[in-house]
């Protein structure tokens, strides 16, 4: 269990090392902070942190640098609530510039946001989004199982099929079922799945009321289909910046990971909200910061790949604010 002062010292060392990329000694700590203790006290606390495994000694300096476990403790325990971080005015102005043109769709804005993150940090950004918009409805069918139970079936232009049982509030004749099926197809065939889902949920119940005298929400069958579709939209910005994050021997491993690998997709999809993955892909010197958000019923995940020594507080603040703006665009 760390004391409050040891936590403060570890936090300062992580932040200062991320800023200066040089081992941090007791003298630097006292100069760059409001610590009101003697150099000997700081050295003793640094030694205690080293024994625990949160700091390690640099070969050519008397200073210390954070260890992998030190970064993990910092990320898990010491980073402030990112929603309360006051961003630098320049960063805020750049982020706001993304939203001045409202003619982009969700993925285009996310990709532009990734480009902005690269320009602000010098790291590599990735975007993983659902690509349900690439599927369009080709046919909608209703098959009667009994007087008050039917099966709704949807087919897409790419051959995907899904079905769902639907209970009706009262019996429906085969003639009415045929008229209803024809009317629904006229309304939604050719639409994207998202558009068809919204039409089935919001507009078609009123049409049903006029045709057969009651309303049923058939949108669940498309919701079910979209959950099962594996299509994804993936984008990488600033790929060459990866050279600055790892040793030459690790280039191939990192590039293969970032280049749309199933492992990368799984890492991104496993994260919810704002999160940090230290030791990305088994590479101790690389971190992945992710932030996910919902926009127009689609989940979008933005990730920033950079050195483990990155200034996490600034990076997490950027990620929080940019995805908050995207979610409310």
- The closest alpha carbon to 124, from 4, 8, 273, 288, belongs to 288
Band of the pLDDT at 95, cuts 50, 70, 90?
confident
Same-domain check for residues 180 and 322: no
CATH number of the domain at 216, please. Answer: 3.30.390.60
- 280-322 pLDDT, tens digit per residue, is 999 988 999 999 988 766 678 999 999 998 988 889 888 988 8
Band of the pLDDT at 11, cuts 50, 70, 90?
very high
Residue 14 tokens read as: 């992580």
Band of the pLDDT at 91, cuts 50, 70, 90?
confident
Asked if residues 288 and 323 have their Cβ atoms less than 8 Å apart, the reply is no
Band of the pLDDT at 24, cuts 50, 70, 90?
very high
Say which residue, 103 or 70, is predicted with more confidence: 70
Same-domain check for residues 165 and 281: no
Average pLDDT over residues 77-101: 66
The b/e string for 295-311 (b: 16+ C-beta within 10 A; e otherwise) is beebebbbbbbbebbbb
Same-domain check for residues 163 and 301: no
Same-domain check for residues 236 and 114: yes
Same-domain check for residues 272 and 299: yes
- The whole-number pLDDT of residue 270 equals 84
- Residue recorded with tokens 């200066």: 20
Which of 176, 192, 227 is where one domain is finished?
A: 227
Band of the pLDDT at 78, cuts 50, 70, 90?
confident
Average pLDDT over residues 74-100: 69
- Residue recorded with tokens 């024994």: 51
Same-domain check for residues 243 and 123: yes
- The closest alpha carbon to 237, from 326, 95, 108, 103, belongs to 108
Asked if residues 299 and 292 have their Cβ atoms less than 8 Å apart, the reply is yes
Which of 227, 242, 259 is where one domain is finished?
A: 227
- 51-65 pLDDT, tens digit per residue, is 999 999 877 667 899
Beta bridge partners of 161: 155
- 173-207 pLDDT, tens digit per residue, is 889 999 999 999 999 999 988 889 999 999 899 99
Q: Which range (34-43, 90-99, 194-203, 289-298) has the least confidence?
A: 90-99
Same-domain check for residues 145 and 208: yes
| Neighbouring residues of 231: CB distance < 8 A, sequence distance ≥ 6 | 130, 131, 132, 134, 135
Say which residue, 9 or 136, is predicted with more confidence: 9
| Distance (Å, whole) CA 7 – CA 312 | 16
- 226-247 pLDDT, tens digit per residue, is 877 656 788 999 999 998 888 8
| Distance (Å, whole) CA 75 – CA 14 | 10
- The whole-number pLDDT of residue 125 equals 98
Same-domain check for residues 140 and 222: yes
Residues of the chain with pLDDT > 70, as a percent, come to 89
Average pLDDT, rounded, for the chain: 86
Which of 207, 227, 247 is where one domain is finished?
A: 227
| Distance (Å, whole) CA 31 – CA 258 | 40
| pTM of the model as a whole | 0.67
- The whole-number pLDDT of residue 296 equals 62
Could you list the residue range(s) of the whole structural domain that residue 104 is in? 84-129+232-326
| Neighbouring residues of 273: CB distance < 8 A, sequence distance ≥ 6 | 291, 292
Question: Which of 21-30, 86-95, 129-138 reaches the highest mean pLDDT?
Answer: 21-30
- Residue recorded with tokens 């640098």: 65
Same-domain check for residues 175 and 293: no
Average pLDDT over residues 124-149: 86
pLDDT at 108 over 90: no
Residue 232 tokens read as: 């994804």
- 262-278 pLDDT, tens digit per residue, is 889 888 988 888 899 99
Same-domain check for residues 174 and 319: no
- The whole-number pLDDT of residue 83 equals 47
Number of domains in the chain: 3
Average pLDDT over residues 125-150: 86
Residues in the chain, overall count: 329
Same-domain check for residues 218 and 291: no
- The whole-number pLDDT of residue 93 equals 72
Element housing 215 (H / E)? none
Asked if residues 78 and 304 have their Cβ atoms less than 8 Å apart, the reply is no
Same-domain check for residues 201 and 146: yes
CATH number of the domain at 279, please. Answer: 3.30.450.40
Q: Count Cα atoms within 13 angstroms, Cβ side, for 251.
A: 8
- The whole-number pLDDT of residue 4 equals 92
- Residue recorded with tokens 């995805």: 323
pLDDT at 115 over 90: yes
CATH number of the domain at 68, please. Answer: 1.10.10.10
């Amino acid at each position: 269990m760390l004391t409050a002062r040891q936590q403060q010292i570890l936090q300062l060392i992580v932040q200062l090392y991320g800023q200066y990329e040089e081992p941090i000694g007791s003298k630097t700590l006292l100069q760059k902070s409001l610590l009101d203790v003697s150099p000997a006290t700081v050295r003793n606390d640094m030694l205690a942190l080293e024994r625990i495994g949160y700091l390690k000694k640099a070969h050519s300096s008397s200073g210390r640098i954070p260890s992998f476990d030190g970064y993990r403790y910092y990320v898990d325990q010491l980073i402030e609530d990112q929603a309360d971080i006051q961003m630098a005015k320049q960063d805020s102005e750049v982020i706001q510039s993304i939203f001045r043109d409202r003619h982009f769709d969700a993925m285009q804005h996310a990709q532009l946001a990734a480009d902005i993150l690269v320009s602000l940090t010098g790291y590599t950004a990735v975007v993983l989004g659902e690509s349900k918009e690439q599927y369009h409805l080709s046919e909608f069918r209703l098959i009667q199982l009994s007087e008050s139970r039917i099966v709704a079936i949807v087919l897409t232009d790419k051959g995907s099929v899904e079905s769902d049982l639907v209970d009706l509030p009262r019996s429906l004749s085969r003639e009415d079922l045929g008229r209803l099926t024809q009317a629904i197809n006229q309304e939604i065939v050719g639409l994207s799945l998202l558009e068809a889902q919204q039409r089935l949920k919001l507009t078609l119940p009123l049409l049903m009321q006029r045709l057969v005298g009651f309303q049923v929400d058939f949108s669940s069958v498309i919701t079910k289909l979209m959950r099962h579709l594996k299509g994804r939209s993936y984008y990488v910005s600033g790929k060459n910046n990866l050279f600055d994050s790892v040793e030459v021997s690790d280039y191939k491993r990192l590039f293969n990971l970032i280049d749309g690998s199933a492992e990368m997709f799984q890492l991104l999809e496993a994260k919810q909200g704002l999160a940090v993955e230290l030791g990305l892909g088994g590479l101790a010197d690389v971190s992945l910061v992710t932030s996910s958000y919902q926009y127009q019923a689609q989940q979008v995940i933005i990730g920033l790949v950079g050195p483990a020594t990155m200034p996490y507080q600034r990076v997490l603040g950027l990620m929080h604010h940019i995805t908050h703006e995207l979610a409310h665009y």
